[in-house]
Structure 1
Amino acid sequence: MKLQHATWQEVEDYLQRASGIIIPIGSTEQHGPNGLLGTDAICPESVAWELGARHDVLVGPTQSIGMAQHHLAFPGSISLRPSTLIAVLRDTVTSLVRHGFTHVFFLNGHGGNIATVNAAFAEIYSGRSLRSDGQSSGALHLALNNWFAGPRVRELAQSLYGDAEGGHATASEVSLSWFARPEAVKDVAMSPRIAPSGSAQCDAEEFRRRFPDGRMGSDPSLSRIEHGERFQAAAVEDTWDAYRAFLGEGLQ
């Protein structure tokens, strides 16, 4: 069930039986010569939509612009400042809490978001704890889960690509984005085959000097739509395990 495709009455009915919601979060940034700018939002969105359809979980609108300043030397990349993303997430959660949601689960597709999302959680919890009236606002649980970090996904990436998976513009994320958007597949030769590795802790101009075509240690020419279908299945299972545990319903 997608929140943006529901009526307010349907959301009200949902809240009678559940108080959890999944919010995909990603980025709009370069993903090398054959990866889509929307890869980091497309991937968690695809996984979340499948979970919603299978398990009657409400899925919120995708937060598709994230913290991606180090990619801004590549045309098309868009970034929020960390402080802006924190404010957006705080207002998103506050809106949902007003309606009765108690468990907000962010399904992330971009490593560069992790520190800022966790800082947003700290701001939200601090705001509740530091209320001037000293009153509790009721239970609130927040979680960040990275679709690419689950055990099934990691095992599949290792078996398919080994060290050529890399750290950015990876074969796994490109494969999953192609499975979700098969009309957008790109056939591009990579040179060198495996890109240089290194740190992304730098400004945009330095990042482009270090990684001229945008890849970090990866060979996404190995990407395939059929691989993406397998990554989707693995990520759905990994995420369902994580979401159930978040709700307190993990396997015993």
Structure 2
Amino acid sequence: MKLQLSTWPEVEAYLERSQGIVIPIGSTEQHGPTGLIGTDAICPETIAGGMSEAGILVAPTISYGMAQHHLGFPGSVSLRPTTLLAVIGDVVRSLACQGFRKFYFLNGHGGNIATVQAAFSELWAEDSLAARASAVDLRLANWFMGPRVVELSRELYADAEGQHATPSEISLTWHAYPEQVRRLPLAPERAPTGRIQDARSFRRQFPDGRCGSEPARAELEHGHRLYEAALTDALDDYRRFLEMSVG
């Protein structure tokens, strides 16, 4: 069940049986010469699409995130930390005032983690400072850190997975969009690693956009397997989240 493809009476009826909602969140940023700019949004959106088929309500994807260090590559878009804090806060507040209580953010971008967690802290601080119990339960889940995904990625790629423009995320986007498969010779075969700071230093250290990865190892068949692993991870984790009580 997808929020944007539902009517308000359908959402009202959903709230009678569940107060949970999945919110995919990612980024719009370069992913090397063979990775799609939308990779970090496509991956959680694809997994969440499978969750919606299980009767879970899924909100539209927040496709922009914390990507300032990628701005040296054309097509990348970044929000400021304060902007993303405001977006997450307003999305949660909007839905909470209608009766939603369990907010499951399915994330596809490591650069979002600190800011999403800070947004959670801001929301809880509002309630604490007002001396009231919080009306919302918030969880951040990174699809690429699910136990089945981690195990499968290790099996398929070992240390060639790397940190950015990884073969696992590129394979998953190919599962979602098989017509977008791209293969190019990449040199060096494995990208360098290093400290990530601002856009200028990132472009200097990682001139083709990859970081520690070998995306040439990506395969469409891998994407199918990673999707099944990620969907199982997410469904298990979401169901545990719904069962958890606060306090």
| TM-score, structure 1 as length reference | 0.95
* Aligned-pair CA distance for 1:187: 1.2
Question: Aligned partners of 2:203 and 2:15: how far apart in 1?
Answer: 46
Q: Distance in 2 between matches of 1:123 and 1:173?
A: 30
Q: Distance in 1 between matches of 2:242 and 2:177?
A: 31
Structure 2, unpaired ranges of 5+:
none
Q: 1: distance between equivalents of 2:47 and 2:116?
A: 19
- 5 Å-filtered alignment, 1:1-252, equals 1-53=1-53, 55-131=54-130, 134-136=131-133, 139-200=135-196, 202-248=197-243
SS at match of 2:114: helix
Report if aligned partners of 2:175, 2:224 keep a CA contact under 8 Å in 1: yes
**Aligned-residue offset at 1:188:** 1.1
TM superposition shift of 1:199: 2.1
Q: How much has 1:47 moved relative to structure 2?
A: 0.3
Q: 1:111 & 1:62 partners in 2: Cα distance?
A: 16
Question: How far off is 1:135 after superposition?
Answer: 4.1
CA distance in 1, matches of 2:128, 2:100: 18
State the distance in 2 between where 1:123 and 1:184 align: 39
Query: 2:122, 2:132 → 1: CA distance?
Result: 17
Task: State the Cα distance separating 1:184 from its structure 2 match.
Answer: 1.2
Shift of 1:12: 0.4
- Measured after TM superposition, the shift of residue 85 of structure 1 is 0.1
In structure 1, the gaps of 5 or more residues are none
Summarize deviations over 1:197-249 as a string: whole Å, max 9, x none: 1222x110001111111111101011111110100000011111111111117
CA distance in 2, matches of 1:135, 1:118: 20
% identical equivalent positions: 59
Determine the C-alpha separation between the residues in 2 that align with 1:225 and 1:25: 23
Aligned letter for 1:206?
Answer: S
CA distance in 2, matches of 1:49, 1:106: 14
SS of the equivalent of 2:30 reads coil
- The code of the aligned residue for 2:80 comes to R
Q: What's the secondary structure of 2:141's corresponding residue? A: strand
RMSD: 1.2
Deviating above 3 A after TM superposition, structure 1's stretches of 4 or more consecutive aligned residues are none
SS of 1:59's equivalent?
coil
> 3-state SS of the aligned residue for 1:58?
coil
Q: Which amino acid aligns with 1:124?
A: L
Q: Distance in 2 between matches of 1:65 and 1:155?
A: 28
Whole-Å Cα distance in 1 between the matches of residues 102 and 218 of structure 2? 35
Letter in 2 for 1:176: L
Residue-by-residue CA offset, 1:162-212 (whole Å, 9 max, x unaligned)? 111111000000000111011211111110000001222x11000111111
Q: Post-superposition shift, 1:128? A: 1.8
* SS in structure 2 at match of 1:118: helix
Counterpart of 2:9, as a letter, is Q
Partners of 1:62 and 1:11 in 2: how far apart? 17
- Please tell me whether the aligned partners of residues 96 and 135 of structure 2 are also in contact (alpha carbons under 8 angstroms): no
